[in-house]
Amino acid sequence: MSDRPLKLLIVLPSWVGDVVMATPAIRRIREAMPGIFIGALCRGGIDLLIDGQGEGNDLFDEVHVFVPHGMMATKKAAAKVRPRRYDTAVLFTNSFSTALTTRLAFIPRRIGYDRDGRGMLLTDKVVPPRNGDGSWKMVPAVDYYWNLAGYLLGEELVDWSVHTPVDCVSMPLALPDGVVMELPISDADQTKCNEILAKAGVDRDYAILNPGGNNEAKRWAADRFARLADWLNDECGLKVLINGSPAESGLVDEICGLCESDPVSLPAMGNTLGGLKAICKGAQIMVTNDTGPRHIAAAMGTPLVTLFGPTDPRWTTVPVSKLDNGLDSEVVVVADPTLEAGESANDHPERCGIDQIEGSRVLEAVKSLLGQN
């Protein structure tokens, strides 16, 4: 391939879930271009998610971490990567600032979607998928990133017409069968997991509840999570671990205080993003809102119930593993299952509010994954 890079920089998304959804595309690039040097540019914290160099992770040869805020953030990020003399950059971000970073780093070839006014900073402007009226086409993020990998490799691009909704829950994927999301679990990640489980006295099978989210409108009510925690403990015999970022520790404490059982607060145990990967790997099930840990659990093959409202789940349809009974390892529960396939939950914030999800529907989803139906 005449445009084959020798040193490739992949600019990673800012959100945890999007980074996980980009991993099939990154794996595709790595396998198609063995021997090239691949670096990652990411914000602080994301490095914990992709950490595992020399421990089963061969996606990246080097990871550059930058702080995305502040007047000098773009210049500082460019200064970090400039000495590596990358010849090509692929931007899995959509922002103007990250395109400017690669330009200031003097990377000759810069590939990304032509959007958000940054086309002049790109050498290779990839056309983003739109509807006939100019609005953004509903495309799962995994395919959005997969298409960029195809462009870099000079292979056939995604046929966006495959993304024709058949219902209000899932979307057909362009990813080939067998392609999965992946995350490495380093020795440090496993050690952190073991320390937390021992400190919390977890001596039986466990479930994870993830009640947080960057948008409060996407959070199922705290009292409903508390009742679910008690049910998982009393009826399923599972120890319940409640996950959250340090900023969500108050929410986790609130739910623990509403429980009659004795769940474990992972923030109080000092959990990390790296530790969460290994904790998810050993869980019997996770019940989560639409937020980053959902994607971590999916990459780990954890049986998963994901609650969506008022965002549409088809933007983030992901490949998941199969259970022993042949069923998908994820059950997506939407606020309004009667929504027409051609409509988007994003356009109906009240009708598709997450408070419309009844506890009984969540219990049925959990039972189906645990084989209790």
At residue 319, the pLDDT reads: 97
Q: Are both 7-162 and 188-369 of the same fold?
A: yes
Report the relative pairing of strands 7-11 and 88-91 from DSSP bridges: parallel
**Contact 9/102 with Cβ under 8 angstroms?**
yes
Q: Give CA–CA dist 248/245, Å, rounded.
A: 5
At residue 1, the pLDDT reads: 42
CB atoms within 10 A of CB 250: 11
CB atoms within 10 A of CB 29: 20
Q: Give CA–CA dist 355/223, Å, rounded.
A: 11
Q: Give CA–CA dist 205/203, Å, rounded.
A: 7
| Alpha-carbon 143 to chain mean position | 13
pLDDT digits over 211-241, tens only? 999 899 999 999 999 999 999 999 999 999 9
At residue 2, the pLDDT reads: 52
Residues counted in the chain: 373
**Cα-atom radius of gyration of the chain, to the nearest Å?**
21
pLDDT digits over 164-180, tens only? 999 999 999 999 999 99
CATH superfamily of 188-369: Glycogen Phosphorylase B; (3.40.50.2000)
- Which among 126, 154, 124, 156 has a CA at the least distance from the CA of 2? 154
- Which among 309, 262, 265, 266 has a CA at the least distance from the CA of 290? 309
At residue 9, the pLDDT reads: 98
At residue 373, the pLDDT reads: 66
Long-range (24+ apart) CB contacts under 8 A made by 335-342 are 335/308, 335/309, 335/310, 336/168, 336/309, 337/168, 337/169, 338/168, 339/168, 340/168, 341/165, 341/166, 341/167, 341/168, 342/165
Check pLDDT > 80 for residue 71: no
Q: Give CA–CA dist 70/87, Å, rounded.
A: 27
**Contact 210/218 with Cβ under 8 angstroms?**
no
Predicted structure pTM score: 0.95
| DSSP code for 322 | B
pLDDT band at 49 (very low <50, low <70, confident <90, very high): very high
At residue 54, the pLDDT reads: 45
Residues 6+ positions from 29 with CB-CB distance below 8 Å: 8, 10, 38, 90, 149, 152, 153
Check pLDDT > 70 for residue 347: yes
- Report helix, strand or coil for 123: coil
Q: Give CA–CA dist 233/310, Å, rounded.
A: 29
Sign of the Cα pseudo-torsion (291, 293, 295, 298, in order): negative
Q: In sequence order, what DSSP letters do the residues of 286-320 get, joined into one string? A: EEEESSHHHHHHHHHT--EEEEE-SS-GGGG----
Check pLDDT > 70 for residue 113: yes
What average pLDDT does this structure show over 265-272? 96
At residue 57, the pLDDT reads: 61
pLDDT digits over 115-165, tens only? 999 999 999 999 999 999 999 999 999 999 999 999 999 999 999 999 999
What average pLDDT does this structure show over 99-116? 97
**Contact 311/333 with Cβ under 8 angstroms?**
no
pLDDT band at 3 (very low <50, low <70, confident <90, very high): confident
**Contact 276/99 with Cβ under 8 angstroms?**
no
Q: Where in the chain are the domains?
A: 7-162, 188-369
- Which among 209, 227, 221 has a CA at the least distance from the CA of 288? 209
Q: Tell the CATH topology of 7-162.
A: Rossmann fold (3.40.50)
What does the longest C-alpha to C-alpha distance in the chain come to?
Answer: 65
**Contact 290/215 with Cβ under 8 angstroms?**
no
- Cα angle for residues 158, 12, 151 (degrees, 5° grid): 25
- The arrangement of strands across the sheet holding 330-334 comes to 264-265, 239-242, 206-210, 285-289, 304-308, 330-334
Q: Give CA–CA dist 318/297, Å, rounded.
A: 11
CB atoms within 10 A of CB 177: 6
Share of the chain above pLDDT 70, in %: 98
Check pLDDT > 50 for residue 103: yes
pLDDT digits over 282-329, tens only? 999 999 999 999 999 999 999 999 999 999 999 999 999 998 888 899
Check pLDDT > 60 for residue 257: yes
At residue 145, the pLDDT reads: 98
Query: Residue 274: which H helix or E strand, with range?
Result: helix 273-281
